[in-house]
Amino acid sequence: MTITSEANEINFSSNSYLDAYSRINGMVIVGEGLADRHFRHLARLFPADSEELLRLGAMEARHAKDFVGCGRNLGIKADVSLAHKLLAPLHQQFIEAEKKYDFVSCVVIQCLIIECFAIAAYRTYLPVADSYATHITKYVLNDEFQHLNYGEKWLKDRFGQVADEVEMCIRKAVPVTMNLLSILHPDLKAVGMDPGELVAEFVVCFQESLEQVGFLPKNAQKIIRSLMVAQMLAA
């Protein structure tokens, strides 16, 4: 099956496409599964919001299942080994924060960083997705905004007390997230995605989120810019 879009032609049945797709698909399935677990942790931490958080977690479990279907549709089985390795440090940061009663970091890691990353990834994937995956990705992308909004509202309601913690968490957790991209770089390109565009989408989403939470636009920009400079120097 070959489709032609404006700039590129993607052969969804070539070995190189399917090989890369199995790892990308693995990342997405493991990422969605992890998001489900994080929301169930948050539901225990915030009993007043438990029902809503369990509902958000259940959406993530559904996303994972539907992305398994995208792999199955192409006749591949997701390769989850790399994904488990790549996502472990971020999950570890979530768990360590929880142990230290640093619930602000738990919210920032799952609802701002992971969700903005997912939104950026799915936005970048949509124009190069096969038609089956396009339907799934569209509805998932729509759902992810609910997850992002939960975190934005939670942090906004407490902005005065949590601003410094939010910033510290971002400085620790965003580089770990960006590191995923450098490792996935060849696979992203092989499925037709532009890693630079993914980073650009992440910056847009994250800037908007920080402003929603209460940071002044120029302060949000400063935080993001310093992260991106550190990232470029490390590359």
Binding residues for ligand PL3, per CB under 6 A? 24-25, 27-28, 31-32, 35, 60, 63, 67, 114-115, 117-118, 121-122, 125, 144, 147, 184
Helices 131-156 and 159-190: crossing angle in degrees, nearest 10, is: 160
Q: Where are the alpha helices (DSSP H) in the chain?
A: 15-45, 50-73, 81-99, 103-107, 115-125, 131-156, 159-190, 195-213, 217-234
Enclosing H/E stretch for 2: strand 2-4
Considering the complex, state which of residue 121 and residue 169 has its C-beta at the smaller distance from Fe ion: 121
Q: Minimum CB separation from ligand PL3 for residue 161, in Å? A: 26
Considering the complex, state which of residue 28 and residue 170 has its C-beta at the smaller distance from ligand PL3: 28
Q: Minimum CB separation from ligand PL3 for residue 2, in Å? A: 19
Single residue of 18, 42, 60, 125 touching Fe ion by CB under 5 A: 60
Considering the complex, state which of residue 32 and residue 98 has its C-beta at the smaller distance from Fe ion: 32
Considering the complex, state which of residue 114 and residue 166 has its C-beta at the smaller distance from ligand PL3: 114
Considering the complex, state which of residue 70 and residue 220 has its C-beta at the smaller distance from ligand PL3: 70
Task: Please enumerate in sequence order all residues whose Cβ is within 8 A of that of 228, keeping only pairs 6 or more positions apart, or say none.
Answer: 199, 203
- 3-state DSSP assignment of residue 3: strand
- Name the token pair of 144: 């992810």
User: Does 147 contact Fe ion by CB under 5 A?
Assistant: yes
| Contact window for Fe ion (CB under 5 A) among 35-43, 73-81, 166-174, 223-231 | 35-43
C-alpha to C-alpha distance for 32 and 65, rounded to whole angstroms: 9
User: Does 144 contact Fe ion by CB under 5 A?
Assistant: yes
Q: Which does 125 bind (CB under 5 to 8 A by kind): Fe ion, ligand PL3, none?
A: ligand PL3
φ/ψ region of 192 (left if φ > 0, alpha if ψ in -120 to 50, else beta) reads left
Residue nearest to ligand PL3 (CB): 31
| Contact window for Fe ion (CB under 5 A) among 56-64, 72-80, 184-192, 194-202 | 56-64
